[in-house]
């Protein structure tokens, strides 16, 4: 721990990977995101998915309606900028990419291998058939965001990220050398090494859960459903590799919470909903991680600078102050239709909190 630092003012963070969901869920997720972040990249795996610029525009309008109806203070409302993504399918067209690039609100295109995670049934089954789409994304400088796992039934769930790197991503990088790529929510040393070995056009986001936890936390002493996410938590050695690159000061790694709300009763059920909810407490969670290995001086780059620079956006000028005063993560939040939402590390005490 960094005992000498009692207060730390940072540029307000951005979240380059968040799930807000849709409908009544937005009454909870939007205020949490707007209080924590200036910009957020909103995942498109709704039902139905966000497949084109018109879908993206309509989704953004729904988000902003819930923002205006919330009790988030005016300064945070005015700073909040949800950036949209398209959901890539086997039928995504060059025209879809052109319209998205010209929309002014679509920041990237998300590729989910079909069946990889929540609401990914419409995802890509034939990556080789998307060459013209990738070329158009290069042309219009529209980044590709990847859920980097293969989904073959015969591949062990703990090996799916590495197989994606070896069998899929290496070919995309080779065939489209100027395409900006973000490997989302990386979980392995293999992914960290892959990103480090590429040029500046390849980067990665890292979640708080993959920095704080490994598969022992998920499985020892009984399965912890609120630690279950996809890609799944890996070995402690992989966790340590992620800690090393996230806190290193390398601009190739930046904040992406992958905060994903599921009602508590849906997480604690046979359905096995994948996702950890961290939006409301993300900065104290990341601060706890960086402080635990004496790297608080590198926190601002990871949370507030490197993502904006990768996407070619201005770095925010708003600030937030962390204080070295313990906070207890809420055990739950009210959610819609009388349900609750259990956050990551619910009930645990973190050493850092947000001033004011």
Question: How far lies 355's CA from each of 208, 221, 282, 283, in Å?
Answer: 20, 36, 14, 12
pTM above 0.85, yes or no: yes
Q: Which residues define the annotated binding site for substrate?
A: 19-21, 45, 147, 230, 262, 274
Fold of 7-354: TIM Barrel (3.20.20)
Active site residues: 258
Interval 205-256: pLDDT, tens: 999 999 999 999 999 999 999 999 999 999 999 999 999 999 999 999 999 9
The strand order across the sheet containing 202-206 reads 15-18, 39-42, 81-87, 106-111, 144-146, 181-183, 202-206, 253-255
Residues near 109 by Cβ (< 8 Å), separated by ≥ 6?
A: 85, 86, 88, 92, 97, 100, 137, 142, 143, 144, 145
Is the peptide bond prior to 48 cis by the omega test (within 30 degrees of 0)?
Answer: yes
> 164-171 — which CB contacts under 8 Å span 24+ positions?
164/113, 165/190, 165/191, 165/194, 168/127, 169/194
Is the peptide bond prior to 135 cis by the omega test (within 30 degrees of 0)?
Answer: no
Name the residue with higher pLDDT: 18 or 270: 18
Q: In whole numbers, what is the pLDDT of the chain averaged over residues? A: 95
- How does residue 3 score in pLDDT terms, banded at 50, 70 and 90? low
Interval 261-313: pLDDT, tens: 999 999 999 877 999 999 999 999 999 999 999 999 999 999 999 999 999 99
Q: What is the pLDDT of residue 216?
A: 98
Half-sphere exposure of 274 (CA within 13 A, CB side): 12
Tokens 């912890």 found at = 224
Q: Which residues define the annotated binding site for Zn(2+)?
A: 17, 19, 110, 147, 185, 258
- How does residue 120 score in pLDDT terms, banded at 50, 70 and 90? low
Is beta strand 39-42 parallel, antiparallel or unpaired with respect to 349-350?
unpaired
Interval 308-349: pLDDT, tens: 999 999 999 999 999 999 999 999 999 999 999 999 999 999
Tokens 């990088």 found at = 173
Q: What is the pLDDT of residue 303?
A: 98
* Mean pLDDT for the stretch of residues 63-71: 98
Q: What is the pLDDT of residue 44?
A: 97
Q: What is the pLDDT of residue 1?
A: 53
Q: What is the pLDDT of residue 122?
A: 73
Query: With contact defined as beta carbons under 8 Å apart, do 335 and 341 qualify?
Result: yes
Judge whether residue 158 has pLDDT over 70: yes
Q: What is the pLDDT of residue 307?
A: 98
Interval 183-204: pLDDT, tens: 999 999 999 999 999 999 999 9
In percent, how much of the chain has pLDDT > 70? 97
Q: What is the pLDDT of residue 124?
A: 87
Query: With contact defined as beta carbons under 8 Å apart, do 186 and 210 qualify?
Result: yes
> ∠246-252-253 over CA atoms, to 5°?
30
Residues near 240 by Cβ (< 8 Å), separated by ≥ 6?
A: none
Q: Where are the alpha helices (DSSP H) in 17-158?
A: 26-36, 53-69, 74-79, 94-103, 131-140
Q: Which residues define the annotated binding site?
A: 17, 19-21, 45, 110, 147, 185, 230, 258, 262, 274
Q: What is the pLDDT of residue 272?
A: 77
């Amino acid at each position: 721990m960094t005992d000498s630092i009692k207060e730390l003012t940072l540029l307000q963070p951005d979240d380059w990977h968040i799930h807000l969901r849709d409908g009544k869920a937005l009454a909870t997720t939007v205020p949490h995101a707007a209080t924590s972040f200036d910009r957020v990249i909103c995942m498109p795996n709704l039902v139905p998915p966000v497949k084109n610029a018109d879908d993206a525009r309509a989704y953004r309008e729904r988000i902003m309606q819930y923002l205006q109806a919330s009790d988030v203070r005016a300064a945070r409302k005015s700073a909040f900028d949800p950036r949209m993504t398209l959901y890539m399918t086997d039928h995504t067209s060059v025209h879809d990419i052109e319209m998205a690039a010209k929309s002014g609100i679509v920041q990237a295109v998300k590729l989910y291998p079909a069946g990889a995670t929540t609401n990914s049934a419409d995802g890509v089954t034939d990556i080789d058939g998307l060459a013209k789409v990738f070329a158009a994304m290069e042309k219009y400088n529209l980044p590709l965001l990847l859920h980097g796992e293969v989904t073959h039934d015969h591949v062990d769930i703990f090996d799916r990220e590495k197989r994606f790197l070896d069998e899929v991503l290496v070919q995309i990088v080779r065939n489209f050398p100027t395409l900006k790529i973000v490997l989302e929510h990386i979980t392995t040393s293999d992914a960290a090494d892959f990103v480090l070995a590429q040029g500046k056009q390849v980067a990665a986001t890292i979640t708080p859960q993959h920095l704080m936890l490994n598969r022992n936390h998920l499985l020892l002493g009984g399965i912890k459903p609120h630690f279950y996410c996809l890609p799944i938590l890996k070995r402690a050695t992989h966790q340590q590799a992620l800690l090393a690159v996230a806190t290193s000061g390398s601009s190739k790694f930046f904040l992406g919470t992958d905060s994903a709300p599921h009602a508590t009763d849906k997480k604690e059920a046979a359905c096995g909903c994948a996702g950890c909810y961290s939006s409301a407490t993300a900065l104290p969670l990341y601060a706890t991680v960086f402080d635990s290995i004496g790297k608080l001086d590198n926190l601002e780059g990871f949370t507030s600078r490197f993502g904006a620079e990768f996407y070619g956006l201005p770095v925010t000028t708003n600030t937030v102050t962390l204080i070295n005063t313990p906070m207890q993560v809420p055990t739950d939040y009210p959610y819609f239709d009388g349900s609750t939402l259990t956050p990551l590390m619910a009930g645990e005490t973190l050493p850092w909190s947000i001033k004011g």
